[in-house]
């Protein structure tokens, strides 16, 4: 209990004692004699004191209630928290707990900007982008000279992924995770499923050195492959300056510059937010409302629909490049559901520490999500409707189409010393279809048209 609460409690106790003393003195000296109660019969005096002191009794009850409320959260609520795993694995930070948005908060829907932010030490130029595109498609950057960045991130076909459950590397080896789309990766503040890369430049240096993916023994070996090709000398001079050495770091910078051009600000959702009220269908509008009211925006927020994004449009356009402060990682799955075993969701723990029974993952973007199946970190789900059910149940505790309700969640904020009890969502199958319709509205019109023509 805080010092302020203790002070209030002490004053209350003193007031009760003083009031009770005054009442007893009045009863003994005045009222008992006037009502004919014998001085030797304490029961009568006590009855009169209780009758006269009902106000003091009521105040005492209120004081007791206050004492219980002041101590109850630490003694009772914490051990019974529904989100017990969050306090065990993730630091006790209110902003990292997923849940429905605050009712008093106004959520601002944002369109994707027309350009991606670039770091000061790697400004985007036409020459650098052209070089990066060539490197992105070059299989010679792999040990067996048959795997390129584009092998797992198909930007020609439109999806930015390879369509496999897990990606295929050199010598037919299969990786352990589903390939994230490269589209709009430029807006992510951390890369890879476990968020281990802090920039596109860092991410670009990962796959060439991964023994399963591209298998090169070192960054110097990658640079030597590029140096062997005389056709790269002039593009490097144009991109970085004449005579600049070809290094692994500059190779990564060029690839990152190209990837910053792979953005899709042309989804129906973007047209709607920019003013075209006919851009969304009635089902998509219903899904958009559900996306907010159900609590999906607690994780998938902002213009890139990811709390792990750089974009902050409140500072104006073009984007400021300030990292989103909603929290970049979430525990998944957050609740025990039948989906956990069905899709082996906890076999890989991501960024979680040793001994964890759940995974910790970077919040992925939902941009173009309808085009990038199969879904989830292990590529185990083939239907977008099923992904919606999984996320609603696992992360929001929702019941769907008559499934048993997971009840209410109790959130305790140690910093604000406040408790919120949240009713978990109840979704019908029609709601699921509306949410899927809205997710499809996040697909680039250009990419969707390209895929439809294939």
* Residue pair 250/243 in contact by the 8 Å Cβ criterion: no
Q: CB-based contacts of 152: which residues, under 8 Å, 6+ apart? A: 161, 162, 167, 168, 179, 207, 213
Q: CB-based contacts of 215: which residues, under 8 Å, 6+ apart? A: 142, 143, 144, 147, 169, 170, 171
* Residue pair 404/378 in contact by the 8 Å Cβ criterion: no
* Residue pair 175/377 in contact by the 8 Å Cβ criterion: no
Helices (H), 100-159: 126-136, 149-152
CA dist 338 and 342 (Å) reads: 6
Q: Is the peptide bond before 292 cis (omega within 30 degrees of 0)?
A: no
Quote the Cα angle for 217-221-227, to 5°.
Answer: 165
Active site residue 220: no
Give 314-318's long-range contacts (Cβ < 8 A, gap of 24+): 314/108, 317/113, 318/113, 318/114, 318/115, 318/117
Q: Per DSSP, what are the bridge partners of residue 419?
A: 412
182, two tokens? 């490269």
Rg (CA), the chain: 31
Could you say which of 83, 201, 213, 386 is catalytic?
213
Q: Is the peptide bond before 318 cis (omega within 30 degrees of 0)?
A: yes
What are the residue numbers of the active site? Answer: 213
């Amino acid at each position: 209990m805080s010092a302020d609460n203790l002070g209030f409690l002490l004053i209350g106790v003193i007031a009760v004692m003083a009031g009770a003393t005054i009442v007893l003195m009045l009863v003994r000296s005045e009222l008992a004699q006037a009502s004919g109660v014998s001085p030797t019969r304490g029961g009568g005096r006590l009855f009169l004191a209780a009758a006269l002191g009902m106000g003091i009794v009521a105040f005492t009850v209120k004081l007791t209630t206050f004492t219980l409320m002041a101590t109850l959260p630490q003694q009772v609520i914490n051990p019974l928290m529904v989100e017990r795993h969050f306090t065990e694995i993730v630091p006790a930070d209110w902003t990292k707990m997923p849940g429905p948005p605050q009712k008093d908060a106004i959520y601002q829907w944002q369109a994707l900007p027309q350009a991606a932010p670039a770091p000061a030490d790697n400004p985007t130029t036409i020459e650098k982008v052209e070089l990066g595109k060539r490197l992105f498609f070059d299989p010679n950057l792999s040990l067996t000279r048959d795997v390129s960045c584009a092998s797992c991130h198909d930007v020609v076909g439109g999806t930015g992924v390879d369509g496999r459950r897990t990606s295929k590397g050199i010598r037919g080896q299969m990786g352990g995770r589903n390939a994230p789309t490269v589209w709009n990766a430029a807006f992510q503040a951390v890369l890879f499923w476990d968020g281990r890369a802090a920039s596109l430049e860092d991410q670009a240096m990962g796959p060439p050195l991964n023994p399963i993916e591209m298998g090169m023994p070192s960054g110097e070996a990658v640079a030597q492959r590029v140096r062997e090709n005389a056709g790269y000398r002039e593009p490097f001079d144009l991109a970085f300056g004449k005579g600049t050495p070809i290094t692994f770091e500059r190779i990564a910078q060029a690839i990152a510059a190209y990837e910053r051009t792979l953005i899709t600000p042309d989804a129906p959702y973007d047209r709607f937010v920019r003013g075209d009220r006919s851009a969304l269908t009635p089902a998509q509008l219903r899904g958009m409302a559900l996306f907010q009211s159900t609590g999906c925006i607690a994780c998938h927020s902002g213009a890139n629909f990811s709390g792990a994004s750089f974009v902050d449009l409140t500072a104006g356009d073009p984007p400021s490049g300030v990292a989103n402060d909603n929290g970049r990682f979430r525990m998944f799955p957050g609740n025990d559901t039948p989906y956990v075993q069905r899709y082996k969701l906890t076999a890989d723990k991501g960024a979680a520490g040793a001994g964890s029974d759940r995974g910790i993952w970077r919040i992925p973007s939902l941009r173009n999500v309808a085009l990038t199946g199969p879904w989830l970190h292990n590529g185990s789900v083939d239907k977008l409707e099923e992904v919606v059910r999984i996320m609603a149940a696992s992360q929001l505790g929702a019941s769907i189409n008559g499934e048993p309700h997971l009840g209410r969640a109790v959130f305790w904020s140690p910093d604000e010393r406040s408790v919120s009890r949240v009713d978990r969502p109840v979704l019908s199958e029609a709601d699921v279809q509306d949410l899927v319709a809205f997710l499809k509205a996040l697909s680039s019109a250009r990419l969707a048209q390209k895929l439809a023509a294939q």
